[in-house]
A and B are shown apart, each in its own frame.
Chain A
């Protein structure tokens, strides 16, 4: 595995050195790819065990809006605001997750309950339009370059930040993948009754991974809001974002560590490439192709792109969770 480790380190070094050579536009793209990759990885922490949440738009929305609002109205630094947003998001995850897992709301039902949650957050943000600006979105107070306000007009700072959060996401994935919890969670995803019978605390395991996933998603939303400076309920919350998260992960592959990252890279380059290719005359062309690809992906390679590549290389037996990429 030492060869892989060297490859990984070289890859990381190239990633870090990129701002020196690429133009700002590509840097902007890279930041977005890394931030979304982080959020997708956070979703996949749950998704890989079959807990499909359509409610991650809710966590991202809370994570994005709380620090932005606190900073703009009360001058509270995001260094406190972001943890508050994350805490609120974790609370939300517990409020929804505890009864769901306690009462065995699974599968379709869990997906639809979480879908309702993301609509609740979206519509609440729109309804509180006096504070949040409603559907018109919200631009937080800009102060130029400031560590206190966590605002940097130069993109290279946010590039560094997004690499760090992305690595944090991968680390958490790796940690869960390697821990004993993974075995427990896989047992739960196969059969909850059987898992409970061999002494796994089903409720606690599911709740833990849900809360971790919600917290990371909120962090992703917060960094996204700090970087973009403008947030809109539709772009950080609600059914559209929730579905976007689910699909990008499915396209990339939910069972491998780099799957969500590949999903992010692929979907964003596709969107951006088609946008440049077609120009703005064909709004929707990108997503049309995207939609078709998603359907094809699910029909022909439900393991995602990374999963499919692995299958080619290793002729691996049909295990549900393939070994992590390393």
Chain B
């Protein structure tokens, strides 16, 4: 087989790790709070700016900058929930979608206002691994591994802790859970914080590979929604698998044609699959 094709496939798998992490965060929020955060990718963008400014402008060590970014984006998640989601919690689903869409507008243009439209890079150059004839980006490998670790940790948290159990219960039946003595508002806040933290973690991984600019959310935001819907909104394992399917389509499509067409292929695949399996690939 052509080594470039193998490289494309490996890169696809590595890309899938980061996408899976993002899809997990979005799915968690959807499954628990039942609101789609259209602006999720733009919250990731905020995290990338936090890392950029801490590391490049203020000389904070990179690991510390990453931790601060994760914490601050988790806090941002809570703020977003309190200010925007909580007031529309009982409105029509489409109004919730629009409210978070307003947040998307706000975050993108506020970032433009503060930082301009320049592409900024944190300037960390990680080595490229050479295995046999294949070249693999170390940054992507890290992103993949951390993405997987994050997913496993989230899984353990949801399965093994009391609050994780409460979160899963609320995703199954939000009315009964209240009767069982679980404070829904607190669970919503915790979920928003975890969703934010996952976005912050993804921001750390993406900052290693991509330049940050105000509209970076538009490049992978739609892809994340597509993945979540494909896996079945709220179905975390489905979203996890779907992210690898989509990343393979993008990677292999990119090998045979160009990047834009590979995304066109992925979106078309999504539309067609919605007609074949309207509730996601793994719907029962």
Task: Please list the residues of chain A having a beta carbon within 8 angstroms of any beta carbon in chain B.
Answer: 50, 52, 96, 99-100, 103-105, 107-109, 111-113, 115-117, 119-120, 123-124, 126-127, 239-240, 243, 246-247, 250, 282-288, 290-292, 294-295, 297-299, 302
How far apart are the CA atoms of A325 and B242 in the complex, in Å? 47
User: Which of chain A's residues have a CB closer than 8 A to the CB of B95?
Assistant: 298, 302
Residues 92-110 of B, flagged 1 when their CB comes within 8 A of A and 0 if not, give: 1111011101111111111
Number of A-B contacts (CB under 8 A): 141
A124 to B226, CA, bound (A): 18
A-B interface, 10 closest residue pairs, ranked by CB to CB distance from nearest: A291-B106, A287-B109, A284-B112, A294-B102, A291-B105, A127-B260, A284-B113, A295-B102, A99-B275, A284-B109
Q: What does DSSP make chain B's interface, helix, strand, loop or mixed?
A: helix
B101 touches A294 (CB 8 A): yes
Q: Are B106 and A52 in contact (CB under 8 A)?
A: no
Closest CB-CB distance, A197 to chain B, in whole Å?
21
Given contacts A283-B117, A287-B112, contact A123 B97 (CB under 8 A): no
**Are A112 and B94 in contact, with the CB atoms below 8 A?**
no
Q: Are B99 and A108 in contact (CB under 8 A)?
A: no
Residues 105-133 (chain B) with a chain A CB within 8 angstroms: 105-113, 116-117
How many residues does chain B have at the interface if contact means C-beta atoms less than 8 Å apart?
A: 48
| Residue on B nearest A102 in the bound complex, by CB | B275
Q: Let me know if B97 and A111 touch, CB within 8 A.
A: yes
Q: B88 interface residue, CB < 8 Å from A? A: yes
B231 to chain A, nearest CB (A): 13
- Whether B113 lies near A108 (C-beta < 8 A) is no
A298 and B117 within 8 A (CB): no
Let me know if B214 is at the binding interface, CB within 8 A. Answer: yes
Q: In the assembly, what is the distance between CA of A283 and CA of B215, in Å?
A: 13
Q: Are B271 and A107 in contact (CB under 8 A)?
A: no
Distance of A20 Cα from B104 Cα, bound (Å) = 41
In the complex, chain B residues whose CB is within 8 Å of the CB of A243: 101, 104-105
Q: Does the CB pair A287–B108 fall under 8 Å?
A: yes
**B222–A299 CB distance below 8 A:** no
Cα–Cα distance between A292 and B101 once the two chains are bound (Å): 11
What are 20 A-B residue pairs whose CB atoms fall within 8 Å in the complex? A99-B275, A103-B274, A103-B278, A104-B278, A108-B93, A111-B94, A116-B226, A116-B267, A239-B222, A283-B116, A284-B112, A287-B105, A292-B102, A294-B105, A295-B84, A295-B99, A298-B91, A298-B102, A299-B99, A302-B91
Contact B109 A119 (CB under 8 A): no
Write the chain A residue with the least CB distance to B222. Answer: A119
